[in-house]
Structure 1
Amino acid sequence: MIAAFLNDIRDHDMIAPHRMAERLRVPLAQLARLARVNRNTMTARPESPAVQAKLGEIARIIAGAAQLTGDEGKAIIWFRHQPIAGFGKTAEELVEQGHGALVIEDLERMADGAYS
């Protein structure tokens, strides 16, 4: 399941922005905003290290949430709609504000058994 998500968003050795946008059910422009990358850069140079790093962070968050929920669809719903306790914002909002590392840390704490 998690491997299927990661395989579905890849195009050879890189994360394909259009595939990730489809899986997250968002327009490519919204994915670019979320990743804090210029939309034109994302489409013209998806292989750039900056684009791949940002998309990789989002993929890591979705994969981590899917491991906890046991379902990719639930992970995406959580990412987009469920405010995280202590932050009062969704994972999507935190990532868009440049705080993806905080979301990853929170997921790791939850995986270790702490309640967030």
Structure 2
Amino acid sequence: MPAVSMERRTTAISGFVESLQEPRTPYISPKRFSAALGIQVAGLANLAGVHRNTMRNPASERLQDKLREMVRVIAAAATLTGDVSKAIFWYRNEPIADYDHKTAAELVAEGHADAVMAHLRDLENGASG
């Protein structure tokens, strides 16, 4: 893979991650992240496995932990696809056969982000998925 292509991927992913930051804070913004995913904030709460009222406190450690897991998986998928939009689509919609045909979003919500990351590493290393 040419270095320029990888550099562009890294820049796109960095821009995506930076676009999620709550202004003037070190936090991921639930509003910005839900907009990036194309869902309501309440839908993001469901994907994150937290109560919708938790979204009102973006500084919540539990919320930020969940959102960081989601971003980590989407960023890893974007590295593989070269496109953040494709990675988000995959995250929300594509069933993973090895995990009872659940989507990455469902698996991460259930606390299985590491399993999804392992799946992505397998894909990157050429395993069929």
The DSSP-based 3-state class of the residue aligned with 2:98 is: coil
Q: Specify the alignment match of 2:6 in structure 1.
A: none
Q: How many residues align?
A: 115
1:110 CA displacement: 2.3
Letter in 2 for 1:102: A
Letter in 2 for 1:52: Q
Structure 1, unaligned stretches of length 5 or more? Answer: none
Q: Measure the CA separation in 2 of the matches of 1:50 and 1:105.
A: 23
Identity among equivalent pairs (%): 44
Q: Specify the alignment match of 2:102 in structure 1.
A: 89
Q: Which has the larger radius of gyration?
A: 2
Letter in 2 for 1:32: A
**CA deviation map 1:9-57 (0-9, x unaligned):** 11231101110000000111111011111111121x2112111100000
Q: Measure the CA separation in 2 of the matches of 1:49 and 1:104.
A: 22
1:64 CA displacement: 0.5
1:50 aligns with 2:62: yes
1:115 CA displacement: 3.0
Letter in 1 for 2:16: F
RMSD: 1.3
1:74 counterpart (86, 94, 98): 86
